Structure 1
Amino acid sequence: MVRHVKDLDPTLMDEFSAGIRGEIIHPEDEAYDETRKVYNGMIDKRPALFVKCVDVADVIYTVNFCRENNLLLAVRGGGHNAGGLGLCDDGVVLDLSGIKYVRVNVEDNTVRVGGGNLWGEVDHGTHPFGLAVPAGIISTTGVGGLTLGGGVGHLSRKYGLTIDNLLEADMVLADGSFVTVNEKQHEDLFWAIRGGGGNFGIVTSFKFQGHPVKTVFGGPTLWPIEKTDEIMTWYHEFIHQAPDELNGFAATMIIPGPPFPEHLHGKQFCAVVWCYVGDMSKAKAVFEPVLALNPLFEHLGEMPYPAIQTMFDGLLTPGMQWYWRADFFDELGPEARSQHLKFGSSIPTPLSQMHLYPISGAAGRVGKEATPWAYRNAKYAGVIVGIETNPANNNTIIKWCKDYWEALHPYSLGGAYSNFMMDEGQERVKASYRYNYDKLTKIKKKYDPTNFFRVNQNIQPAS
């Protein structure tokens, strides 16, 4: 039976506090309300305690304390999770933000990263070495959450998902033990964390393979929303035949304002946001087919890789209201395209949008059971996001997202990328892991038989 922190003997709390090097924050503390904020301003949870860990010992001590006293535990890295799974009501939040470092090994181009790092910090640490680790498209995203769920982004077609570049991880398990997992140590656990989320333990350190990426050529291209059918038909044929060095995700969106030109503000568009990581001398030739479609607006050019990773940070700032729905897709057929046109023409707020991230090239060549990420045969990871600054408009963005999703879902493959899911129930979790789910439940039973780590897209231990 789960207990509440306030019901514990004060002596226990005093002993626990004395053993933690990091900061402990209680509801009555001045910093509490600021500390409980996460990226999604729609999340309003009230934990009983925050433990801001600064080292692995703090993590072990907190895990043991919560397990021994039957306290609910949530684990927060970057706090970017759409459903607010880095928080919990009335339980303990183990905050990893104090465990940060980026160490590049120039001999083999590997990168060690702390469990609390954000991707922008990783890019800052690797860019001077001419390296990058495949990640997402927003630099404020946490390394831990994005990695453990899969990691789709600008480099996916060239270098695979983030999990395809994970070489090793240090973890604290539910029993408080510390392990290093890789292809030769705890191979089953290493398999499980490459897509299985935070179900199996707390990762305090990641080791990634870095890749030679210094400069990229890319940016957005926009067409009037009325051209959605034409552009998506062309895009579907083009992107999966393109060289691996070229990535581009399709979108329906509104231009909200600066830095875009004023004549575009408030108008709906079908868009593709590009990132090319090949030979820069060939970039203009690569983009000739794109420009032949006469985009109404394009801002394509050469830039440092961290620039494209931060391109949307200024628009998609922390603390706004977010609502997400997602699916995997194999096709962009006429029925689906008509729904993209319909809902792309009725986007309710300036920042709400839909993205289709291509799963092809290197990401699509990994075996469907090589990692828990079961949709290697999909062509797209799709996500619909309602975004608003005013909580009073939440019902509007939620309805638009749900309606858009329900219209597209019949044309989907049935599951969703877990990093794009909110709290949608156990059947959706199962659908998202497909034939890998049963294996995950067995590994869960081995390493977390009591489901101690359950504030996540939960994989329940095999019965």
Structure 2
Amino acid sequence: MNSQPDRTTDSTHRSLLSQLRTRISGELIDRSDPRYDDARRVWNGMIDRRPIAVVRAGSAADIAPTLALAATQGLPIAVRGGGHNVAGNGTVDDGIVLDLSGLHDVQVDPARRTVQVQAGATLAHLDAATAPYNLAVPVGVVSGTGIAGLTLGGGVGWLTRAHGLTVDNLIAAEVVTVAGDTVQASETENPELFWGLRGGGGNFGVVTSFTFRAHPLPERPFTGNFLYARDRWAQALASYEAWSRDVPDELTSILTILVPPAGMQLGTDPLLMLGFAWAATDTARAEELVDRMRRAAPPTIEAVEPVSWSAWQSSVDAFFPKGSRGYWKNTSFDRLDDEVRAVLARRGAEQSWVGTGFDIHHLGGAYARVAEDATPFPSRAARFWLNIYGFWADPAEDAARMAFIRAFGAEMEPLGTGGTYLNFLGEERDADAAAPVRPVYSEAKLHRLATLKRAYDPQNILRRNHNVLPAAASDDTE
């Protein structure tokens, strides 16, 4: 919507913003600016917040004064990288949005196979920079996703079985703390902070850059999709249960059921889509593995061919256009037996509209070989992760779509193993209130995160996130 200047912005706020303008190199967009409505928007169209101002950082040096203003004035602050978070944590009512999207430089060191990425970069920026060197960093599956939020939550995608989560490939990070200090975090520098950044969310500071380990990848990796009409779902799901137990780490697959968007020209009935990506050069081996699934469950349609990594990484972008109304539920689970398959098939068939869907991420491999306490990520033992998501456009559909997602999630809950992934977690709370994330972490991990939070953000300035509350001093253990 178009906004007029907000007459409730008082002289105190105008004075504070005027002072901040003199201390930053980037732009400050307040409610009187014609760019305000565009600047305050995030990907999830259900999130409609009205900040006092949006600070578009021109450099990392703009972060500390913006944090200082929020802290000294008691203003809520939201930190935004790509703005793709389904919970809408990149904006806030009556506070400051620190928008890092202008800081998106990516530097690749092909000899060391490392990549340094600024916090405003998206997956598209990262993939475009690494592709010329036939390298890739394990990231997510939608190219518009911000690398910062993805990394701080975990990072599940097409290379998870081959090389682990995004956080498993993080080597170092540069962080601006709420005190205004710039610190380095790695296994050797501030190692506890480094631990917390790898799955603990944006609770401990504002990361300005990430350094990742990259992996060799063919110029045109072997990728593809099998598509199944409803009459073949039972066979496909049963065959996938057996097939997924016996594939090597190099093969990552994601199983999806949804009504495809009109642009795909695949009709209006829900389809089961089995996507797969092979992270090695032995194409013959990949073809043999894929053919094994093809023979067990012949697809209705298939598209199997090597494509560029950037093209594959952006292949589902059309499903999630900016402004989509988004609401998600997720859980981990280990079994894909008759009972679970029946729920998945029934719920999939009920989706007779474009607007919701679900993904099943096949895990294991490198993901599972990381020790459970090596990162805050909630579960390394899970065999599968289910994400039920919405991406509709009409506000009139909110109640029905959200009810479907909630009911599906509730039905899967007793069949799952209880894991909750931060990046698949939608908003279930008042937008500006601190919300503890106890359901995500074990008691031991939450205590460790809360202790870390107290060390770096004792006043909980960075609370517009899936919030970890600072531990009280009395919570310390010997």
**TM-score of the two chains, using structure 1 as the length reference:** 0.95
Q: Report how many residues are paired.
A: 457
Match of residue 174 from structure 1: 178
Deviation digits for residues 279-325 of structure 1 (CA, Å, limit 9, x no counterpart):
12433212111211110011111111111101011332111111111
Match of 1:244 among 228, 231, 249: 249
Match of 2:228 among 223, 226, 234: 223
- Between the aligned partners of 2:355 and 2:315, the Cα distance in structure 1 is 14
User: Which ranges of 4 or more aligned residues in structure 1 deviate by more than 4 Å?
Assistant: 425-428
Match of 2:437 among 426, 429, 434: 429
* Displacement of 1:7: 6.1
Deviation digits for residues 348-398 of structure 1 (CA, Å, limit 9, x no counterpart):
521421001122110111011000012000112211112212222111211
- Do the aligned partners of 1:349 and 1:387 also contact (CA within 8 Å) in 2? no
Listed as ranges, the matches of 1:34-433 within 5 Å are 34-213=38-217, 214-260=219-265, 264-278=266-280, 279-292=282-295, 293-424=297-428, 429-433=437-441
- Do the aligned partners of 1:20 and 1:58 also contact (CA within 8 Å) in 2? yes
Deviation digits for residues 31-83 of structure 1 (CA, Å, limit 9, x no counterpart):
01111121111111111110000111101111111112211110000000101
User: Which letter does structure 1 place at the counterpart of 2:229?
Assistant: P
* Displacement of 1:188: 0.2
* Displacement of 1:9: 6.0
User: Which letter does structure 2 place at the counterpart of 1:265?
Assistant: G
Equivalent position SS for 2:183: strand
* Displacement of 1:257: 2.7
Q: Determine what percentage of the aligned residue pairs are the same residue.
A: 34
- Do the aligned partners of 1:166 and 1:208 also contact (CA within 8 Å) in 2? yes
* Displacement of 1:226: 4.0
User: Which letter does structure 2 place at the counterpart of 1:436?
Assistant: K
User: Which letter does structure 2 place at the counterpart of 1:71?
Assistant: L
User: Which letter does structure 1 place at the counterpart of 2:466?
Assistant: Q
Equivalent position SS for 1:228: helix
- Between the aligned partners of 2:48 and 2:272, the Cα distance in structure 1 is 33
Match of residue 4 from structure 2: none
- Do the aligned partners of 1:348 and 1:396 also contact (CA within 8 Å) in 2? no
Equivalent position SS for 2:276: strand
* Displacement of 1:333: 2.8
- Do the aligned partners of 2:319 and 2:391 also contact (CA within 8 Å) in 1? no
- Between the aligned partners of 2:230 and 2:367, the Cα distance in structure 1 is 29
Deviation digits for residues 400-436 of structure 1 (CA, Å, limit 9, x no counterpart):
1111111111112223101000123689821211141
Match of residue 442 from structure 1: 451
User: Which letter does structure 2 place at the counterpart of 1:271?
Assistant: M
Change (3 A) 1:116 1:386: same
- Between the aligned partners of 2:334 and 2:244, the Cα distance in structure 1 is 13
Match of 2:463 among 433, 454, 458: 454
Change (3 A) 1:10 1:307: closer
User: Which letter does structure 1 place at the counterpart of 2:438?
Assistant: K
- Between the aligned partners of 1:5 and 1:241, the Cα distance in structure 2 is 61
Equivalent position SS for 1:381: strand
In terms of mean alpha carbon deviation, does 168-177 or 7-16 score higher?
7-16
Structure 1 residue ranges without an equivalent (≥5): none
- Between the aligned partners of 2:9 and 2:61, the Cα distance in structure 1 is 21
Match of residue 476 from structure 2: none
Deviation digits for residues 143-184 of structure 1 (CA, Å, limit 9, x no counterpart):
000000000000000010000000000001111111010000
User: Which letter does structure 2 place at the counterpart of 1:450?
Assistant: Q
In terms of mean alpha carbon deviation, does 393-402 or 177-186 score higher?
393-402
Equivalent position SS for 1:179: strand
- Between the aligned partners of 2:121 and 2:80, the Cα distance in structure 1 is 11
In terms of mean alpha carbon deviation, does 419-428 or 368-377 score higher?
419-428
Equivalent position SS for 1:59: helix
Change (3 A) 1:23 1:343: same
- Do the aligned partners of 1:222 and 1:272 also contact (CA within 8 Å) in 2? yes
- Between the aligned partners of 2:437 and 2:303, the Cα distance in structure 1 is 38
Change (3 A) 1:256 1:106: closer
- Do the aligned partners of 2:435 and 2:466 also contact (CA within 8 Å) in 1? no
Equivalent position SS for 1:25: strand
Structure 2 residue ranges without an equivalent (≥5): 1-7, 473-478
Change (3 A) 1:331 1:249: same
Equivalent position SS for 1:199: coil
Match of residue 18 from structure 2: 14
- Between the aligned partners of 1:82 and 1:204, the Cα distance in structure 2 is 22
- Do the aligned partners of 1:169 and 1:207 also contact (CA within 8 Å) in 2? yes
- Between the aligned partners of 2:320 and 2:272, the Cα distance in structure 1 is 19
- Between the aligned partners of 2:110 and 2:229, the Cα distance in structure 1 is 46
Equivalent position SS for 2:317: coil
- Do the aligned partners of 1:5 and 1:71 also contact (CA within 8 Å) in 2? no
User: Which letter does structure 1 place at the counterpart of 2:454?
Assistant: K
* Displacement of 1:10: 4.4
Change (3 A) 1:8 1:114: same
- Do the aligned partners of 1:167 and 1:209 also contact (CA within 8 Å) in 2? yes
- Between the aligned partners of 2:464 and 2:195, the Cα distance in structure 1 is 20
- Between the aligned partners of 1:224 and 1:367, the Cα distance in structure 2 is 39
